[in-house]
């Protein structure tokens, strides 16, 4: 036990503690204008304590056990995605939450499935030899791991988590020895799909608007119009992003000071404790504050990469790249949607935004990386782990 603790990357633990302090302080400032959300800072402390318990518990478990039972984990993950459609609650427009009343915690299976997807893809690719992945035997079947859940989660009005599955899939395929020709092909397909989709949305906006309103799905307009067609967006739809942009710009280089941001403290920016928490950073601490936060993310990801490079087993780096892909997408999407680069999706800022479900998944993910650090240097198989590498 003590020998394992000595091998833990304590720089990562320190970064997590710093994130905890930053998160609680920002949430406290973000809810100051919203009386009904008072106390969220204290609840975030509880979530972090629970998260650290999960973190330490996770890294004490040999990650290869998760790989052995990845089919069972995948089945449970898909089951939760489906069952939440019938029994789940709706929160912020997304129907996909299971409430745990005694601990006042909402669990989102779509959030959990990101880690499930990473484990399953890593287990399957890790069993293959190091030859390049083939298109029909490898890429197409593996893509179904992400595309089927993608469709299920899109039906729950959660485009943010749904898109993360595609990013994770591409990251893991890439580290799993994707051919350059297939890489270029996939990038071209993604680029072409984005171009055609955006062009079609702009060209046929009136018809799309009529259809979405007739099917009671106008929430998609509220997410996409402020991004692609801000002049045509309704005042309600553009209220969030416009005020966020003004608040970010008003922060300047050094910011207005802690709990001194005019837009945040006046309640003009919604969800400043969760999705919009980067606006609190920008308005109250300015460009310097945002840069420091991004630097902390950079250090964390750098330490994850170091762990991947030190791992002697094939599955370890694949798992870590999947986790890095998940974090990078969330960071880019969350910051990008408030500066006009990305559509508004409701993705939280990792380790900073309020939310027990997302925080616990992130903490378990980092615990999994530490487990890889502790056990991934061992080249031998566990005696009770029965899968073998196969050539495909």
Predicted confidence (pLDDT) per residue in 172-212, tens digit: 999 888 888 888 988 998 899 999 999 999 999 999 999 88
Task: Work out the pLDDT band at 350, boundaries 50, 70, 90.
Answer: very high
Residue 17's contacts (CB-CB under 8 Å, 6 or more residues apart) are: none
Q: With respect to residue 392, please indicate whether it lies within any of the assigned structural domains.
A: no
Residue 392 scores a pLDDT above 50: no
Q: With respect to residue 192, please indicate whether it lies within any of the assigned structural domains.
A: yes
Mean pLDDT for 304-332 is: 93
Show the tokens assigned to 42: 């204290």
So what's the pLDDT on residue 345?
85
Q: Identify the weakest region by mean pLDDT among 44-48, 101-105, 227-231, 343-347.
A: 101-105
Question: From residue 372, how far is each of 17, 309, 328 by CA, in Å?
Answer: 21, 11, 20
Q: What are phi and psi of 99, to 5 degrees?
A: -90, 130
So what's the pLDDT on residue 391?
43
So what's the pLDDT on residue 308?
92
Q: Identify the weakest region by mean pLDDT among 99-103, 146-150, 388-392.
A: 388-392
So what's the pLDDT on residue 36?
87
Residue 133 scores a pLDDT above 90: no
Residue among 306, 297, 295 at smallest CA distance from 351 = 297
Average pLDDT, the chain: 88
Q: With respect to residue 391, please indicate whether it lies within any of the assigned structural domains.
A: no
Helices (H), 204-234: 205-214, 219-228
What is the extent of the structural domain holding 61? 2-375
Of the segments 22-31, 228-237, 335-344, which one has the largest average pLDDT value?
22-31
Q: With respect to residue 156, please indicate whether it lies within any of the assigned structural domains.
A: yes
Q: With respect to residue 386, please indicate whether it lies within any of the assigned structural domains.
A: no
- Gap between the Cα atoms of 279 and 242, Å rounded: 12
Mean pLDDT for 31-57 is: 92
So what's the pLDDT on residue 2?
61
Neighbours of 48 (CB within 10 A): 23
Share of residues in the chain with pLDDT > 70 (%) = 92
Q: Identify the weakest region by mean pLDDT among 22-36, 232-246, 267-281, 330-344.
A: 232-246
Q: With respect to residue 356, please indicate whether it lies within any of the assigned structural domains.
A: yes
Q: Domain count of the chain?
A: 1
Mean pLDDT for 222-233 is: 86
So what's the pLDDT on residue 313?
83
As a residue count, the chain comes to: 392
Residue 380 scores a pLDDT above 60: no
Residue 131 scores a pLDDT above 80: no
Q: With respect to residue 89, please indicate whether it lies within any of the assigned structural domains.
A: yes
Residue 225's contacts (CB-CB under 8 Å, 6 or more residues apart) are: 232, 233, 234, 237, 238
Q: Output Rg (C-alpha) for the chain, integer angstroms.
A: 21
Q: Identify the weakest region by mean pLDDT among 43-57, 89-103, 298-312.
A: 89-103
- Gap between the Cα atoms of 116 and 372, Å rounded: 16
Q: With respect to residue 388, please indicate whether it lies within any of the assigned structural domains.
A: no
The better pLDDT of the pair 59, 318 is held by 318
Residue 382 scores a pLDDT above 60: no
CA angle 233, 239, 241 (to 5 degrees): 90
- pLDDT tens by residue, 80-113: 999 988 887 766 666 677 777 666 677 889 999 9
């Amino acid at each position: 036990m003590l020998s394992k603790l000595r091998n833990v990357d304590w720089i990562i633990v320190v970064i997590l503690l710093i994130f905890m302090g930053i998160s609680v302080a920002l949430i406290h400032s973000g809810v100051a204008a919203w009386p009904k959300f008072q106390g969220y800072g204290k609840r975030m402390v509880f979530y972090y304590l629970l998260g650290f318990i999960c973190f330490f518990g996770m890294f004490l478990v040999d990650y290869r056990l998760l790989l052995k039972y990845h089919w069972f984990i995948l089945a449970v993950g898909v089951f939760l995605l489906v069952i939440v459609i019938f029994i789940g609650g709706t929160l912020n427009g997304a129907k996909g939450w299971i409430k745990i009343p005694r601990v006042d915690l909402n669990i989102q299976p779509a959030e959990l499935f990101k880690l499930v997807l990473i484990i399953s893809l890593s287990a399957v690719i890790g069993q293959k030899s190091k030859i390049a992945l083939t298109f029909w035997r490898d890429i197409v079947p593996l893509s179904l791991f992400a595309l089927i859940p993608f469709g299920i989660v899109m039906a729950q009005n959660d485009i943010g988590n749904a898109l993360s599955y595609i990013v994770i899939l591409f990251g893991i395929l890439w580290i799993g020895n994707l051919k350059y020709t297939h890489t270029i092909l996939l990038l071209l397909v993604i680029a072409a799909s984005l171009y055609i989709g955006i062009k079609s949305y702009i060209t046929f906006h009136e018809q799309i608007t009529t259809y979405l309103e007739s099917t009671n799905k106008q929430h998609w307009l509220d997410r996409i119009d402020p991004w692609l067609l801000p002049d045509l967006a309704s005042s309600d739809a553009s209220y969030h992003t416009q005020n966020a942009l003004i608040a970010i710009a008003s922060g300047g280089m050094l910011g207005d000071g802690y709990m001194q941001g005019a837009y945040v403290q006046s309640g003009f920016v919604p969800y400043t404790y969760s999705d919009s928490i980067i606006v609190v950073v920008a308005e109250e601490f300015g460009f310097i504050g945002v840069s420091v936060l991004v630097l902390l993310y950079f250090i964390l990801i750098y330490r994850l990469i170091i762990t991947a490079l030190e791992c002697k087993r094939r599955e370890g780096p694949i798992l870590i790249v999947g986790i890095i892909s998940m974090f990078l997408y969330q960071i880019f999407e969350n910051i990008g949607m408030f500066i006009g680069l990305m559509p508004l999706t409701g993705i939280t800022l990792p380790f900073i935004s309020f939310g027990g479900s997302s925080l616990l998944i992130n903490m378990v993910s980092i615990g999994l990386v530490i487990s890889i650090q502790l056990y991934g240097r061992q080249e031998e198989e566990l005696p009770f782990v029965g899968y073998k590498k196969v050539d495909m």
